Amino acid sequence: MSMKIDSVRNFFINACYTSAPLSKKSSAAQNMISFYKEGAKSPSVAKAIAGAENEKTYFLPVRACAQWFNNYNILKKHPDVKPAYESFENVFETMYPKTGKLREFLIDKSRLSFEKVLPKMSPNQKTAAKAYLA
């Protein structure tokens, strides 16, 4: 089974931009649960999607940016979303145990992008990354 990148991205966007009250049956919570369930099929891609959408929020008006981060942080702690989030994180951690730190580094430092190809790391950057991950 493969994940559909556009639907996973839509689940994440709809969850983070929904400002409805976060009740048990809220659409934001359901979208975030769907994001984590679909994302468990390919956790690295799902994390990269979340990171790319996170980067886009810095170009939003201040009010929308604050709403996005507020919704995202509340949803991660939501009692219905938490089991899906924890299972997603477990799949991410156990998928490739030896390359877990490297994948985290690539995602956190925005080395993965859907719109463009980034230049290769210089030898100095590689040495710094190896020292950071050691």
Determine phi and psi for 91, rounding to 5 degrees.
Answer: -65, -40
Give the end-to-end CA distance of the chain in Å, rounded to a whole number: 34
Determine phi and psi for 124, rounding to 5 degrees.
Answer: -65, -40
Share of the chain above pLDDT 90, in %: 0
pLDDT for res 16: 77
Q: Could you tell me how far CA 39 lies from the centroid of its own chain?
A: 9
Tokens of 42: 């390919």
Residue with tokens 């590689």: 126
pLDDT for res 116: 60
pLDDT for res 47: 82
pLDDT for res 112: 61
Output the tens digit of pLDDT for each of the chain's 134 residues. Answer: 567 788 888 888 888 777 655 655 677 788 888 888 888 888 878 888 887 887 777 776 666 666 777 777 778 888 888 888 888 888 888 877 777 777 777 767 666 665 665 667 777 877 777 777 65
